[in-house]
Structure 1
Amino acid sequence: MEHILPKIVMTEANEEILICRGILTLKNQESEIYVDGEIVYKWFPSIGVRFSGLLIW
């Protein structure tokens, strides 16, 4: 029997999962800005994807 290996390994229950980290571009129809940030999946205080970062340009 073949075992399925997880793509994400957590060392603790409910540990946040890093989706992306680095220079990110935020765009709309009129402009764009660059942010040094990260996107993570968090379990607490509520489940969902979170974005944080610092404006660099």
Structure 2
Amino acid sequence: MGFTRPRRPRDGTRQQQVLAMLRRQEGAAVAQIAEVTGWQAHTVRGFFTGLQKR
């Protein structure tokens, strides 16, 4: 096994938009993220689950 670089989302992706929203001081609600990304609420929650696995 060699050295692997940390994962980083490509510029302009929905994933990057969500991460930026979560980093804001006020954070972001599931409904806000769903509105911005066009995702359903269950998709936003699934995205959060994927983040926990990293």
Which structure is higher in helix share?
2
Into which bin does the TM-score normalised by the smaller protein fall? under 0.3
* Greater relative CO, 1 or 2 (CA 8 Å, sep 6+): 1
Larger Rg: 1
Q: TM-score, normalised by structure 2?
A: 0.21
Q: TM-score, normalised by structure 1?
A: 0.21
Which of the pair is proportionally richer in strand? Answer: 1
